[in-house]
Structure 1
Amino acid sequence: MKHFDEAATRKPLAFERLVPALRAAFAAGAQVPPRHVHAVETAPGSTADSAGSSGSSSDKGTVLIMPAWSDAGFLGIKTINIFPGNSARGLPGLHATYVLYDARTGVPLAMMDGNEITARRTAAASALGASFLARADARRLLVLGTGRIARMLPAAHASVRPIDEVRVWNHRPEGAEALAAQWRAEGWNAHAVTDLQAAVRQADIVSCATLATAPLVRGEWLAPGSHLDLIGSFTPAMREADVQCFAGAGTFVDTDEALQKSGDLLDAMAAGTLKAHEVRGTLAALCRGECAGRSDEAQRTVFKAVGSAIEDLTAATLVWQDAI
C-alpha cells in the first residue's frame, strides 16, 4: 500500500483540475452511503493532549466515517475527527485520514492525507457551486474563518470567477490579520476586516468556513445579486447564517443530506423562511443540467454544503492516477 503525505496528496489537486473533476463526478454519480456520525467526549483527566495538559470536560468532538465507491473501480473511506476546542491548544480543529481501495477486490491501494483531501475538495465544491450561482462578474470575495479550508478559498474561487479583492473576518482579529498578510505575500489584494456587517454588504461572494454554532451572517446585510456560500457547518447544532439569509434567495445544496444535517437549513425551515420544496437543486442536478443556477443578476443565491464522500473519492482518485 502506497503512502501519500500532505505534499504528495496536494500536488495533483490544483483547483483548475479538481473543480472540473468534481463537476464530472457529480454528473456521473457514485455509491455514497449515509455517513456515520459519532459524538466523542472524554472524561476529565482521562487523557493528556499534545501540549501536556490534562483532558477536561471541554474535550468534545465528532467522528465522521464517510465511504464511497464508483464504477471506475475505486472504493474510499475517510475518517475525520472534528474537535473545535483544539483552537485553544493551538491545534487544528480537524484531522482526517483517507484509505483508497480497489473496489473490485477490496485490496488497499493507498493511505492519503485526509486533511489535505478534505480541505481541497471542500474548497473546490464551494467554487463549483459558485460557478453556477455567483454572478459572472463577481470579483469581491469575503471569507469568514481562518482555518485550512478558509485559506484555500481565494484560489478555489479564482479558478471560476475573476476574484481580485479578498477580505477576511475572524472572531479573533489577529488571526484574520495574519491570514490577510499571508495572502498578500502570495499576491492577493487581501485585507482583514473587523466590521462584518459592512464587509458583507460590499461582497459579491460571502464564503463561510467556520465551526460556528450561532449565526454570523444576517440576511439583511446581503446585497442584491450576492452569493452566500455556507461550507463550514455540517451538523444540526452548527450554523453560520441567520434564517433571513434564505428568505427570497435561490437556495441550493450539495446533496439532499444537507436538509437533515444543516443547522442553517433546519432553522430556516422551522422559521418558515425556507421550505424543503423551495430548495432548487443539488450539485448533481446542476452538473447534469437538470436545474438552472442563477436566474438573473439581481437574484441572491445561497449554497449550503455539508460535504459528500463523492468529493473525497474524486480527489483521492486524482492523487492515485497521477502517481501511477
Structure 2
Amino acid sequence: MFTFDVVPGDAVLNTLRSRRGDVLDIVARTYRSHEAGQTVNPDSCFLRFPEKPDSRIIALPAFIGADVELAGLKWISSFPRNTENGVPRASAVLVLNDYRTGYPVAVLEAAHISAARTAASAAVAATALRPGGYGGSRIAVVGGGVIARNICDYLQAAGCAPDAYLVHDLHEPSAQALAAHVRDTQRRPAAVTGDLGAALEAETVVFATTALEPYVHRPFGAGQVVLNISLRDLAPEVVLGAQNVFDDVEHCMKADTSPHLAEQLTGNREFVSGTLAGVLDEEVRLTADRPVIFSPFGLGALDLAVGAYVLQQARADGTAVSVPDFFGETRRW
C-alpha cells in the first residue's frame, strides 16, 4: 500500500520512444472512455504571473475508472522565453494516486508524457479525419519545436505517409532542424518555407506554436484537414468557416482559444460538429465540401492514462526508482 516510485525522464523517454503504437492505442481508447463518462476531468487551473504574461503553470487533475483506476495531477509549466536559451518551453511532473486509498504511488517526469499524448492525439485525429490516407498529399507544420517534432514522429507511427512535409517557423533554425529530423527519421522530403501562405495551402496543416492570439485570417479550403494543436493561431472567422471537431467541447470553450473566440463572436456553438470520439465511433459524419479543424484543449485524463502505462513499463523494466519510507507515518496510532 505504501510503495512510492519515481520515474525519471530518461526512463520515460525510452519507454515512449519504443512503444508509440501502444500510446496511440491508449489515447484513442481514453477518448472513448472519456466520451462514455468513465473519467473525471475537471477544468485546468492556470497560475499566471503579472510580470510574465506569456508564461504559466497549469494543473490538470483527472481520474480514470475502467481498467486504470487511478487519479492524478499533471503540473506543467509553459515558459516560451526558455527557447531563447535553447531550453525547452515546457517542463512537467505527473503525480499518480491510488483510487482505493488516495495515497500517491508515483511521480513521473511528465514533459515527455505531455508531448507524447499531445502528439498521439494529433495522429489519432489525422488518421480519423483523412481515412483515405496521405498518399499524394503534403503535411505542413507551422512551428518547429518539441511538440512539432513529436507530432511528426507519431504521424509516422500512425501510418500517415505524405509525399512531403513543409515546415514554417519564425525562427528559421528551428524550422531547419525539424525538416532535417523528418528527412532523417522518415526518409521523406521535407522543405522549409518562410512563406506562411505557402504552408497554409497544404492538404493537411498542423499548428504547434506558442502564439497567444490569432494571426491566420484566410479561410481553409474544402478537403483540408487542420490540426489546431496550439489552439490560438486561427481567427474566429476561420473556425466558423469549417467543420469543427474537439477532444472535449466544453473544455475548449475557454481561455480565449480560437473556438472560444468564435463562440464569443457568434454567441452560440452552432459551428461545433462533434468530438473525435464521435468520429472514431462513426457517430459524427463529416463532409468533403468544407475543411475540418481538430481542436484539442488537452485532457488530463490522457496524461493519466499514458503515465499509468509508463509506470507499469518502468516497473517491469526495472527503471522505476523506489523510494522506501516515503511516507512518514503509515498507522493512525
TM-score grouping bracket, smaller chain normalisation: 0.7 to 0.9
1:133–1:227 CA contact under 8 A, matched in 2: yes
Return closer, same or farther for 1:122/1:255 CA change in 2, 3 Å cut-off: same
Q: What is the one-letter code of the residue matched to 2:287?
A: S
Counterpart for residue 142 of structure 1: 140
2:239–2:258 CA contact under 8 A, matched in 1: no
Counterpart for residue 48 of structure 1: none
Comparing 8-17 and 104-113, the one that deviates more: 8-17
Counterpart for residue 230 of structure 2: 232
Counterpart for residue 208 of structure 2: 209
* 2:114 matches 1:124: no
Q: What is the one-letter code of the residue matched to 1:184?
A: R
Cα separation, 1, equivalents of 2:129 and 2:238:
15
Q: What is the one-letter code of the residue matched to 2:172?
A: P
* Alignment: residue pair count: 299
* 2:32 matches 1:27: yes
SS in 2 for 1:110: strand
Q: What is the one-letter code of the residue matched to 1:181?
A: A
Residue correspondence of structure 1 range 84-99 to structure 2 within 5 A: 84-99=80-95
- Cα offset for 1:7? 2.8
Equivalent in 281, 285, 291 of residue 278 of structure 2: 285
CA deviations 1:68-98 (Å, max 9, x no partner) are 1122221121101111222233322211111
Q: What is the one-letter code of the residue matched to 1:61?
A: S
Cα separation, 2, equivalents of 1:317 and 1:102:
11
Cα separation, 1, equivalents of 2:54 and 2:27:
32
Cα separation, 1, equivalents of 2:31 and 2:188:
30
- TM-score when normalising by structure 2: 0.82
- TM-score when normalising by structure 1: 0.85
Cα separation, 2, equivalents of 1:174 and 1:302:
28
Counterpart for residue 174 of structure 2: 175
Cα separation, 2, equivalents of 1:164 and 1:11:
29
Equivalent in 244, 248, 262 of residue 241 of structure 2: 248
Higher relative contact order, structure no. (Cα contacts within 8 Å, ≥ 6 residues apart): 2
SS in 2 for 1:303: strand
1:259–1:276 CA contact under 8 A, matched in 2: no
Counterpart for residue 71 of structure 2: 75
CA deviations 1:194-220 (Å, max 9, x no partner) are 11102211x121010111023243333
Cα separation, 2, equivalents of 1:19 and 1:270:
33
Cα separation, 2, equivalents of 1:289 and 1:135:
12
Give unpaired runs (5+ residues) of structure 2: 317-333
CA deviations 1:246-295 (Å, max 9, x no partner) are 233110111121012342113223444x9413301123433444423x32
1:135–1:226 CA contact under 8 A, matched in 2: no
2:142–2:199 CA contact under 8 A, matched in 1: no
1:32–1:68 CA contact under 8 A, matched in 2: yes
- Cα offset for 1:24? 1.1
Q: What is the one-letter code of the residue matched to 1:189?
A: P
Comparing 304-313 and 157-166, the one that deviates more: 157-166
Counterpart for residue 61 of structure 1: 55
Comparing 63-72 and 88-97, the one that deviates more: 88-97
SS in 2 for 1:97: strand
SS in 2 for 1:285: helix
- Cα offset for 1:58? 4.5
* 2:183 matches 1:184: yes
Return closer, same or farther for 1:140/1:321 CA change in 2, 3 Å cut-off: same
Return closer, same or farther for 1:271/1:177 CA change in 2, 3 Å cut-off: same
SS in 2 for 1:67: strand
Return closer, same or farther for 1:194/1:96 CA change in 2, 3 Å cut-off: same
SS in 1 for 2:194: coil
Q: CA RMSD in A?
A: 2.1
2:7–2:311 CA contact under 8 A, matched in 1: no
Counterpart for residue 8 of structure 1: 11
Cα separation, 2, equivalents of 1:301 and 1:60:
29
Equivalent in 44, 47, 50 of residue 38 of structure 1: 47
Equivalent in 83, 103, 107 of residue 107 of structure 1: 103
Q: What is the one-letter code of the residue matched to 1:32?
A: N
Return closer, same or farther for 1:322/1:58 CA change in 2, 3 Å cut-off: closer
2:7–2:107 CA contact under 8 A, matched in 1: yes
